[in-house]
Chain A
Amino acid sequence: MNRRNTWKKAMGKYWQMYMLLIPVIVYYIVFKYVPMMGVQIAFKNFKFRSGIWGSDWVGLKHFERFFSSYSSLNIIWNTLYLGFMSLLFSFPIPIILALLVNEIHSPRLKKGLQTITYAPHFVSTIVVVGMLMAMCSPSTGIINKILIKLGLISEPLYLMASAKYFRPMYIISGIWKDGGWNAIIFISALSAISVEMYEAAEVDGANRWQQLIKITLPSIVPTIVIMLILEAGKVLSIGFEKVYAMQTDLNLTVSEVISTYTYKIGLEDLEYDYATAIGLFNSVVSLFLLLMVNSISKRVTETSLF
């Protein structure tokens, strides 16, 4: 009774808002939830003729196959490790960059730095890896030449082939490509801070560094938290293209991740049911990570998705 009343009240006040949501919900049903029914082939022996609904159920067979395969644990570990390392190192950089841009006074330097750091986002993955190969070549690469000149190493390093350099190279090149791009959301958030707050702080005698810590940073915390929650949900979703391009026989022990593995089996044999099962495992873990970080954040910072 009570429930129905509150709904009635909400409808009365917000009927326009519900009208706005209707096309959105229809969109999600038509373009997302209808095709999502296809996820059931993870539990089926998918036959093209019988289709998604008509194929026979096989229970957890595909999951068993994945977990009993020799490399699965290593692949999951590689994916998680690379994902967490990327998050750890790549996440703070855009925030720092945004703060730096915010602190610059000269408008030309400010705009210049923004544009330069934004540009690498448009260099395609294949070319990024191509450049890495060229710049890290032991014989002709500029990076080895600089390191030798500086006296940091005596023999050139085979950076792009060895397993121990794979993760750093992956993460550093990722920061170069997307650090500036990811900073945009923070730069935009910083522009919303009111000038009066700084003026008040200055009256109180706070220096620039104190203003940064006391005013600037706290005011973008909600944006940081939301981004962190969303990124946590992407830890397992390491894109295949770049890792695949960086794989060599020498680094395969650390560079084989879920997406490259599914790509390889999907490509060769069109095993959609098996590939869907692995993808489903990936999704469940990702959603779990997102919900976990979301609930921690809800308690600690009072910012959350729901």
Chain B
Amino acid sequence: MNVKRILPLLLVLAMLLTCTCMFAEAQFPLTAEPVTFKVLARTGSFYPNQDYGNVGNMKAYEEMTGVHIEWENIDPSVFNNALAASIASDELPDIILKAGLSNAQMFEWGEDEILVDLAPYIDTCMPNFKALLAQYPDIAMAITAPNGAIYGLPQVVLAPQMRVPNKMYINQKALEKVGKEMPKTTGDLYNLLVAIRDSDLNGNGQADEIPLVASVNWLYSYFYGTFGLGTRGTQHHAIVDVDPENGALRIYAQSENYRKFLEYLNKLYSEKLIYQEIFTNGDKNITALATENRIGITCATTLYNIPTETVDAWSGMKWQLAGPDGYNIVSNCRSNLHTTGNFAVTVECKNIELALKWVDYFYSEEGSLFYHAGVKDVNWEAKADGSLGYTEATLATRTSDMTQDNFIAQFAMWPGGRNPAVMLENLWGGEYEAEPASTAFALMDYLPKTIWPIFSWTEEENEVINTVQGDIRSFINTSTAQVIAGEVELTDEWWNSFVKQIDAMGGKKLLDAYQNAVERIYSGGDY
């Protein structure tokens, strides 16, 4: 196509960009000599046969930087095996990209001399990332190994739109129909749900209204905060938090408030205020139910489930519901980090400095846009009103069978997640759309005062986390589901044995591991 004609323009553009760049170090091209890196990259599960070599901004970046990439694109369903196999057979790539390696994995491979410690190079080669580390100590905390090394680069999330994934959306038509206000407390919500259940919202004469539909995960994690649970964020730390009463570490499912949480959700479920099929991926039916105009409230990231014709009637709740004890925390929230280990350099790499300079651009404001939205004035532009958006020419490439993901994957690296880049406020689409974004901004006021980042565990701690935490977590999930579905009765006897059982499964060991970790990570003691 006309790529060849665009490329010289891009080069000029690149020169201009470097002049206006905040950081003088980002001089393009990065290398005068042609350099080739072998990159092993995880593709997204969104696009069959994704080839990053064909993605628009990566082609442009090759011209800008002078760095040639030899891509090896691996399907996510075999990625871990393929990566392990290529390491075991001594066929290391130079760079592992979009893998989302866990801290534990990276530390092991670091000590094994498979991955390179990047910490010594950050000062000299990564001005943008260095600035982020200086400004947000949480990030360094999360990615630094117990031995002080940094083996991989994370996805940094500074955009408020992305900090609160779980929002409650209410169908305004349902509110009008029952003549009620947006609820402020769990009590209000209960009354509203009862009213919607009995309202014959779709006017078909049948009592087929389903007041609240959401996946169990979204549902639970929304209500944790209203009962003072998950006080350090549940995205990265699923079952341990700090008791807001006394500041001690706890497994929050063992607290009295968890019992209240169970009683509340059981009441909603047994009175048919929650969709009765939530335990078998009932959230998959939201679109169908919404089309039949049968639902009132949902918890989700965005409104993509709601049919386009009715989506305007839905608005996000701009505050967190308060529970019976007044707690109104947004516990399903992210720290500054989305994922770790999205860019790792192996010992095979001959030019570590250049590799890091290559990726550092994506941690700048300009580079972030380049990474997530493609080439300026080719894929996106500043509109007359000052907002940013895709160009007409780019929008024209979207066919009717493409999702947003498929569309973006043509020219930018965003889809599939696990990105070595920073996400700022200035993107658009998905969680940046008006309703989810404004709701997320409003909910920022309800975030916990401390959000634990992803921890870097020592090897011993990690073994406890892997075995004990998994077992306890699935026990809690099963018991919770049984109570909510009414398969067991929440008696004192049941509750006591539930609490004891968690201890018997190694709850104390888990808390000890956490205690060690928080004392090491928060050396000031204020966790």
Chains A and B in contact, CB within 8 Å? yes
- Chain A positions within 8 Å of B, measured between CB atoms, are 47-52, 65, 69-71, 133, 137-139, 158, 160-162, 248-250, 252-253, 256, 264-272
Question: Which residues of A sit under 8 angstroms from B114, Cβ to Cβ?
Answer: 48-49
Interface residues of B in 446-492 (CB under 8 A from A): 466-468, 470-471, 474, 477-478, 480-482, 485, 487
Contact of A269 among B112, B466, B482 (CB under 8 A): B466
Q: Is the CB of B277 within 8 A of A269?
A: no
Seed contacts A48-B88, A250-B478, A269-B105; 4 additional CB < 8 Å A-B pairs: A51-B88, A139-B276, A248-B481, A264-B470
Q: Is the CB of B467 within 8 A of A48?
A: no
> Which residue in chain B gives the minimum CB-CB distance to A245?
B281
User: Chain B interface residue count: which class?
Assistant: 20 to 34
Best-buried of A139, A160, A253, A272 by chain B (most CB within 10 Å)? A139
Q: Is the CB of A70 within 8 A of B505?
A: yes
Q: Is the CB of B474 within 8 A of A69?
A: no
Interface string of B481-519 (1 = CB under 8 A from A): 110010100000000000000001110000000000000
Q: What 7 A-B pairs come out closest when comparing CB atoms?
A: A249-B481, A161-B279, A49-B112, A48-B87, A70-B471, A70-B505, A249-B477
Q: Is B109's beta carbon under 8 Å from chain A?
A: yes
Shortest beta-carbon distance from B51 to chain A in Å: 25
Contact of B276 among A49, A158, A264 (CB under 8 A): A158
Best-buried of A65, A250, A256 by chain B (most CB within 10 Å)? A250
Contact of A252 among B108, B109, B280, B477 (CB under 8 A): B477
Shortest beta-carbon distance from A51 to chain B in Å: 7
Q: A48-B88, A133-B280 are in contact. Are A161 and B485 (CB under 8 A)?
A: yes
Interface string of B103-120 (1 = CB under 8 A from A): 011001100111000000
Contact of A270 among B105, B467, B478 (CB under 8 A): B105
Q: Is the CB of B87 within 8 A of A161?
A: no
Q: Is the interface of B mostly helix, strand, loop or mixed?
A: helix
Question: Which residues of B sit under 8 angstroms from A268, Cβ to Cβ?
Answer: 102, 466
A48–B482 alpha-carbon span in the complex (Å): 42
Q: Is the CB of A48 within 8 A of B80?
A: no
Q: A70-B471, A269-B102, A269-B105 are in contact. Are A139 and B478 (CB under 8 A)?
A: no
Q: Is the CB of B80 within 8 A of A270?
A: yes
Complex A-B: 5 CB contacts under 8 Å: A137-B280, A252-B477, A265-B470, A267-B80, A269-B104
Q: Is the CB of A256 within 8 A of B109?
A: no
Question: Which residues of A sit under 8 angstroms from B480, Cβ to Cβ?
Answer: 249
Contact of A138 among B108, B109, B276, B477 (CB under 8 A): B276
Q: Is the CB of B280 within 8 A of A160?
A: yes
Q: Is the interface of A mostly helix, strand, loop or mixed?
A: loop
How many A-B pairs have beta carbons closer than 8 Å: the answer is 79
Q: Is the CB of A138 within 8 A of B277?
A: yes
Contact of A158 among B87, B104, B277, B505 (CB under 8 A): B277
Q: Is B216's beta carbon under 8 Å from chain A?
A: yes
Question: Which residues of A sit under 8 angstroms from B279, Cβ to Cβ?
Answer: 158, 161, 248-250
Question: Which residues of A sit under 8 angstroms from B506, Cβ to Cβ?
Answer: 70
Question: Which residues of A sit under 8 angstroms from B113, Cβ to Cβ?
Answer: 49
Question: Which residues of B sit under 8 angstroms from A264, Cβ to Cβ?
Answer: 470
Q: Is B402's beta carbon under 8 Å from chain A?
A: no
Q: A249-B481, A250-B482 are in contact. Are A48 and B471 (CB under 8 A)?
A: no
Question: Which residues of B sit under 8 angstroms from A50, Cβ to Cβ?
Answer: 112
Question: Which residues of B sit under 8 angstroms from A48, Cβ to Cβ?
Answer: 84, 87-88, 109, 112, 114
Shortest beta-carbon distance from B279 to chain A in Å: 4
Q: Is the CB of B112 within 8 A of A69?
A: no
Q: Is the CB of A69 within 8 A of B105?
A: no
> Which residue in chain B gives the minimum CB-CB distance to A52?
B88
Question: Which residues of B sit under 8 angstroms from A51, Cβ to Cβ?
Answer: 88
Contact of A248 among B112, B280, B468 (CB under 8 A): B280
Question: Which residues of B sit under 8 angstroms from A162, Cβ to Cβ?
Answer: 487
A23–B105 alpha-carbon span in the complex (Å): 42
Question: Which residues of A sit under 8 angstroms from B504, Cβ to Cβ?
Answer: 70
Question: Which residues of B sit under 8 angstroms from A139, Cβ to Cβ?
Answer: 276-277
Question: Which residues of B sit under 8 angstroms from A256, Cβ to Cβ?
Answer: 474
Q: Is the CB of B467 within 8 A of A69?
A: yes
Shortest beta-carbon distance from A55 to chain B in Å: 10
Q: A70-B505, A265-B470 are in contact. Are A272 and B84 (CB under 8 A)?
A: yes
Shortest beta-carbon distance from A64 to chain B in Å: 12
Best-buried of A51, A52, A161, A266 by chain B (most CB within 10 Å)? A161
Question: Which residues of A sit under 8 angstroms from B467, Cβ to Cβ?
Answer: 65, 69
Q: A69-B467, A133-B281, A160-B280 are in contact. Are A252 and B474 (CB under 8 A)?
A: yes
Question: Which residues of B sit under 8 angstroms from A270, Cβ to Cβ?
Answer: 80, 84, 105
> Which residue in chain A gives the minimum CB-CB distance to B108?
A47
Shortest beta-carbon distance from A25 to chain B in Å: 26
Shortest beta-carbon distance from A20 to chain B in Å: 33
Q: Is the CB of B482 within 8 A of A265?
A: no
A139–B209 alpha-carbon span in the complex (Å): 12
Shortest beta-carbon distance from A19 to chain B in Å: 34
Question: Which residues of B sit under 8 angstroms from A161, Cβ to Cβ?
Answer: 277, 279-280, 485
Q: Is the CB of A137 within 8 A of B105?
A: no
Question: Which residues of A sit under 8 angstroms from B277, Cβ to Cβ?
Answer: 137-139, 158, 161
Question: Which residues of B sit under 8 angstroms from A272, Cβ to Cβ?
Answer: 84
A70–B505 alpha-carbon span in the complex (Å): 6
A69–B280 alpha-carbon span in the complex (Å): 28
A65–B506 alpha-carbon span in the complex (Å): 13
A220–B216 alpha-carbon span in the complex (Å): 51
